[in-house]
Amino acid sequence: MDQIIAANTRPELLRCEQLEAQALRAMHEVASPSIRARLGLELIDHDGCLVSIAGKLPSTAVLINRALMGNGSAGALSLTEVQLLYHARGVNRYFLHQNLRHPPVPEDALSARALRRQRGWQKFEHDLHSIHPASSELRVRRLNPQNIWDFGLIVGRTFALGEEAVPWLSELVWHPNWYIFMSYEGHIPAGVAALFVEGKYGWLDFAATRPEMRRLGSQQVLLAHRLNFARTLGCTQLFSCTGEALPDFPQQSYRNLLRAGFKETYLRENYAPQNC
């Protein structure tokens, strides 16, 4: 176990966790006071434990209601303390992401907290040395404030965030570290994806396709476009993640990342309430 933990603390993997946290912070930063109040948005950053709360979004909004657990220092929040934060706001479905530096929580400890192990999130990295071209006739365009609304609609529906999240998601275009892209068949939006950049490193997120536009290569062309775009910005490494591939749960996003040249790095443990 010590060898596994040591391997998971190499700088590149820690940077991946930091970038994910920075991207989540930036999401909350763009929310106006009225949007925060309407969605019950809060971001609690306590000694390395980042707790994202959207108390008024649908219960399915676990992409927002999730916590990146701290590094276990004396002042860090415990699993129980984070659970109490969610329960106090009426949020009964959420994810707790295990910190990279620590081993999985034993089953008896999870049961004592009424938690269960969820499907893990597989992390990936790309060094941008070789970018695989995508074969698709779809064209890709970076979105601006005038054409961002479809991004919020597609992401909100794909990730079950609800229609009320659309105005907030659409605000991402204003953040200087977020770059939003859309694929089109002719003039019809097909899919969306986002890139968060901090220095020489990038985080890929919010890849989604309209159901009627699937199997047109939207995500492959959006992946290739973001890789090339990140390289023009001077990035040297990109990170992303998706749910782990299970025999009874095929993961198209997992296959797309591998086809685009991403390499698997580590599988992060996720915990959720037993009724989630």
Percent of the chain past pLDDT 70, that is, above it, reads 94
Write b or e for each residue in 15-40: b if 16 or more Cβ atoms lie within 10 A of its Cβ, otherwise e: bbbbbbbbbbebbbebbeeeebebbe
Whole-structure pTM value: 0.91
Question: Quick one: pLDDT at residue 2?
Answer: 34
Question: Quick one: pLDDT at residue 77?
Answer: 80
Can you give the residue ranges of every domain in the chain? 2-122, 139-267
Write b or e for each residue in 55-73: b if 16 or more Cβ atoms lie within 10 A of its Cβ, otherwise e: bbbbeebbbbbbbbbbeee
Return mean pLDDT, the chain: 90
- Helices (H), ranges, the chain: 2-7, 11-29, 33-39, 79-88, 107-112, 149-158, 166-170, 218-232, 252-259
Could you tell me the pLDDT band of residue 189, with boundaries at 50, 70 and 90? very high
Question: Quick one: pLDDT at residue 194?
Answer: 97
Question: Quick one: pLDDT at residue 200?
Answer: 96
Question: Quick one: pLDDT at residue 174?
Answer: 93
Task: Quick: pLDDT tens for 207-223.
Answer: 999 999 988 899 999 99
CATH class for the domain made up of 139-267: alpha beta
Could you tell me the pLDDT band of residue 133, with boundaries at 50, 70 and 90? confident
Question: Quick one: pLDDT at residue 8?
Answer: 55
